[in-house]
Amino acid sequence: MKSEKKILYLTYDGLSDPLGQSQILTYLTGLNQMGHKITIVSSEKKGNEKLIESIQKDLMEKGIEWLNIPYTKSPLVLSTIYDVYKMQVACKKLCRTNNFDIVHCRSYITSLIGLLLKRKFGLKFIFDMRGFYADERIDGGMWNQSSILYKFIYRYFKNREARFLERADYSICLTEDARREIHSWKSIPGQPLPIQVIPCCADTKLFDYNLINIEQKAQVAKELNIASDDLVISYVGAVGTWYMLEEMLDFFVRLRIKYPEAKFLFITHEDQRSIFKKAGRRKIPAENIIIRKVNHKDVPLLLSLAQLSLFFIKPVYSKKASSPAKQGEIMSMGIPIICNSNIGDIDQIIRDSQAGSIVRKFTDDDYDFVISQIPELILKPKENIRKSAIEIFSLEKGTSKYNEVYKNL
């Protein structure tokens, strides 16, 4: 059995999207360095032409082939069907001229194509599910089940999900909680199915508190009006759909009772007006809310200003399969996390690594209990938290697990 494989990697997420740069290119570059021959087919959005050109040049230098299928934005549903058709035609053409060993499909849309390529060309099929896609669309309110169309689409993808899992030579999910859930589905033959758990990994070489320039940190703190003795709690990433901004602001209200000068630092590309408006309704002074939009490479510097980091995620069924990239990044910076329970493996990781505190219920009593633990939390050794992040979330760890799957097929 040869250890290096020819991989056809399909993703409907663009390589020029932030997710593509942090979660797709990093893995594939590592797998390419391990000797696997990678060909990528992705769907890229308009407006990213300069970045696409830069990525194309970089991939060519690394010997990675890339085919860009332009993304179609509208009309809804029909545009996705059209994109799947275009990608399918392109993949068939590639398979006729390349002796691929494996088709590796990121999420459900591309797995529609991957299953066809497995049947037609005899490729090994990896279903890299990422999350419970159909259930996420329901839980997030994107597929309203009062609509006959979206009710049909939901049922279609739930049926496809079972078929992908049944026919996959290997499946990938983000959490142990999701693997346990899938293994409990007795309607799918062949249980326990071969599933590898690979969480959303972090660039632990970028997110490293040891690399923070002290002078730069002091300068940024001065610009943001953060005093050396201020308690700073941070939030990183998008605010919306899954992330519970209202409840996080409620927590901050309780925090200010004990720490009135505390600052809430949002590192996000979201609209500032919405955050300030919701904070204002709670009588939180504007000077206690700091919102900054920065490039990904500059996030560690801003994070270093915080003693704690906070995120609450809607505890819905589909989040059993959720692994937020921010968890690995924050822990890699040695920062304790305050988060809620019943989201994938988050709370189990926090408990095992002693890297923070868990809110059980979104009540003042629960908030106050966690707030009472803050003096202990901020004294936790940074290096211990970072070591746990490297063990669980490092790119090297994730790439190694993908390599194991490739070699076993």
pLDDT tens string 361-406 = 999 999 999 999 999 999 999 999 999 999 999 999 999 999 999 9
Name residues whose C-beta falls within 8 Å of residue 194's C-beta, 6 or more positions apart in sequence: 168, 169, 170, 171
Residue 19 pLDDT grade (very low, low, confident, very high; cuts 50, 70, 90): confident
CA distance 110 to 133: 12
pLDDT tens string 277-315 = 999 999 999 999 999 998 888 999 999 999 999 999 999
Residue 22 has what pLDDT?
Answer: 81
In order of their start, the domains of the chain are 6-199+395-408 (3.40.50.2000), 209-393 (3.40.50.2000)
Nearest to 69 by CA among 103, 40, 108: 40
Residue 349 has what pLDDT?
Answer: 96
More reliable by pLDDT, 239 or 356: 356
Residue 2 pLDDT grade (very low, low, confident, very high; cuts 50, 70, 90): low
Nearest to 310 by CA among 258, 364, 267: 267
90 pLDDT more than 90: yes
Averaged over 66-85, what is the pLDDT? 94
Residue 64 has what pLDDT?
Answer: 97
Instruction: Report the relative pairing of strands 170-173 and 124-128 from DSSP bridges.
Output: parallel
More reliable by pLDDT, 240 or 216: 216
Residue 299 has what pLDDT?
Answer: 94
Averaged over 117-135, what is the pLDDT? 97
Residue 253 pLDDT grade (very low, low, confident, very high; cuts 50, 70, 90): very high
Name residues whose C-beta falls within 8 Å of residue 100's C-beta, 6 or more positions apart in sequence: 6, 7, 8, 39, 94, 121, 123
Name the DSSP letter for residue 339.
Answer: E
pLDDT tens string 311-360 = 999 999 999 999 999 999 999 999 999 999 999 999 999 999 999 999 99
Contact 399, 30 (CB under 8 A): yes
pLDDT tens string 133-187 = 999 999 999 999 999 999 999 999 999 999 999 999 999 999 999 999 999 999 9
Least confident range from 126-135, 234-243, 246-255, 379-388: namely 234-243
Residue 195 pLDDT grade (very low, low, confident, very high; cuts 50, 70, 90): very high
120 pLDDT more than 90: yes
Residue 249 pLDDT grade (very low, low, confident, very high; cuts 50, 70, 90): very high
Residue 76 has what pLDDT?
Answer: 85
Name residues whose C-beta falls within 8 Å of residue 176's C-beta, 6 or more positions apart in sequence: 197, 345, 348
**Which residues are registered as beta bridge partners of 39?**
8, 65
Q: What is the DSSP string of 86-99?
A: HHHHHHHHHHHHS-
Residue 238 pLDDT grade (very low, low, confident, very high; cuts 50, 70, 90): confident
Q: Which amino acid is at 213?
A: N
Averaged over 45-70, what is the pLDDT? 94
pLDDT tens string 25-54 = 999 999 999 999 999 999 999 988 999 999
